[in-house]
A and B are shown apart, each in its own frame.
Chain A
């Protein structure tokens, strides 16, 4: 599907109204032009996955939405409000939460401090008992140094801390990277449960097998552009194309 076609007729899920609208998003790291006009939408309550090879621009897309990339252009609307010029702290306070690929656990903080670090930006965040229900390991390790946790526990902590904030739109960057299959399964269950709780999730994944268990829709990113998009029900019909895109 060509880029412009997606811009004019984005794939829609029946779950809810449009919550995020990205149009002609461009981004630069210094002189390097990384995103060349990204277009896609996310509807309330759905899980949308950005797929693509390494260096395609998936993480840069999330960081651009979050306002972390200094130089960006185009339009990003969240709940119909333009946020392309907003700073990342203001974007977070509008209800968008970001879980970075490198997890961003702070070594100078213990688990409890890491968990309580992001401020509550609005009502509706998960209370601690529900968070511990999702991630029981964290409750047992509250006083440990954040970076002493295993990779899986650090990922759980990175997701857990943004659930407290009341943000309804979560952006998860490769949450399964480098994790054991049993932990990946647990994270999959968590994402499914969060979806049931009404969270909207924009996921960046290279693990397509994992993504297919949780996503409602997919967009394929290549060379800083969306080159295709389809829903989960169209997945089987698009498998050959997808293998070509992802080089698997």
Chain B
């Protein structure tokens, strides 16, 4: 039974990363209509920025949680201003190809300098150790990742669904021309939204660093699963991304316990089933 709970916890942790990453993808797709294949590379950059901050600047994990998303978010905004903005109105394929190319370049650069093996990033002192819950042993850092990710996801949902800024974002997703004619600087809002989505990926990267180490290809391994999550949840759906991210992490964890051979493919099997039954995803809109 302990093994089942352990796999559930692993599933929840993976689900946290899926949720944070697919949420960023959903925000970016909803607003920019771009399928951001560079998301995995930006997640990796978040982890590397945390590593650099610690090893070059002596800046600890807690500051990295704040600074890495800002730094990578600014990098993302530069990408949007210099490259992605020119794709407005073009087919999704162009955005996908461009961001895929950016991902390959960024990952290639990091691999060239740091190789493929992982760089260690220590768990902060405050989050070391674990708690015996009676039915299982819970490492504090892993519990922290799940709770913090959930809080960030819900805060992002609240920002988009329940605030005036979110109303601007949702309206601009539908009709950016009219929203701009109301006096709102839509191009600037698009840039900031891309920065927000990228920042969420970088945040997931920082959270992941102490668990999975810091590797140039850490994003490439994850991003394919995250895209499957986004397809299942529905492109552009905020709450759909969060729920599907956590749910698929748990399903993956349970599969590892009950039928380990299928654990790497269960998400893709589900994706195929959802595409057959509801091509727009469980809660999404047509792309």
Interface positions of A (Cβ within 8 A of B): 66-68, 87-89, 91-93, 97-98, 100, 104, 106-109, 113, 116-119, 121, 162, 165
Add 16 more A-B contacts to A109-B167, A109-B171 (CB < 8 A).
Answer: A68-B177, A88-B177, A88-B180, A88-B181, A89-B180, A89-B184, A89-B185, A92-B180, A92-B181, A100-B178, A108-B171, A113-B167, A116-B167, A117-B171, A118-B182, A119-B184
Is there contact, CB below 8 Å, between A119 and B183?
yes
Which residue of chain A has the shortest Cβ distance to B188 in the bound complex?
A89
- Chain B residues whose CB sits within 8 angstroms of the CB of A87 once the complex forms: 180
Question: In the assembly, what is the distance between CA of A3 and CA of B180, in Å?
Answer: 32
- Interface SS of chain A: loop
> Top 8 closest A-B pairs, CB basis?
A92-B183, A118-B182, A88-B181, A108-B170, A104-B178, A106-B171, A113-B167, A93-B183
Interface residues of B (CB under 8 A from A): 164, 167-168, 170-171, 173-175, 177-186
Contacting pair A106 B185 (CB below 8 A) = no
Instruction: Please give the distance in Å from A164's CB to the nearest CB on chain B.
Output: 11
Asked if residues A118 and B174 are in contact (CB atoms below 8 Å), the reply is no
Interface core residue of A97, A118, A121 (most chain B CB under 10 Å): A118
Partner among B164, B167, B170, B183 whose Cβ is within 8 Å of the Cβ of A89: B183
What's the Cα separation between A121 and B183 when bound, in Å?
A: 7
Chain A residues, CB < 8 A from B180: 87-89, 92
CA separation between A177 and B182, bound complex, in Å? 22
CB < 8 Å: which of B164, B174, B185 contacts A108? B174
Q: Are B164's CB and A116's CB within 8 A? A: yes
Report A-chain residues with C-beta under 8 Å of the C-beta of B178: 100, 104
- What residues on B are CB-neighbors of A106 within 8 Å? 170-171, 174-175
CA distance A91 to B177 in the complex (A): 13
Report the bound CA distance from A210 to B60 in whole Å: 69
Q: List 13 A-B contacts (CB under 8 A).
A: A68-B177, A87-B180, A89-B181, A89-B182, A89-B183, A92-B180, A92-B181, A106-B174, A109-B167, A116-B164, A117-B171, A118-B182, A162-B182
In chain A, what residue has the closest Cβ to B178?
A: A104
B160 CB to nearest A CB, Å: 10
Give the distance to chain B from A57, nearest Cβ to Cβ, in Å. 19
Closest partner residue, chain B, to A147 (CB atom) = B174
Determine which residue in A67, A68, A104 has the highest number of CB atoms from chain B within 10 A of its CB, and name it.
A104
Q: How far is the CA of A107 from the CA of B173 in the complex (A)?
A: 11
A117 and B186 in contact (CB under 8 A), knowing A88-B181, A104-B175? no
Residues of A within 8 A of B181 (CB): 66-68, 88-89, 91-92, 98
Flag if A107 contacts B183 (CB, 8 Å). Answer: no
Task: Identify the closest chain A residue to B172 (Cβ).
Answer: A106
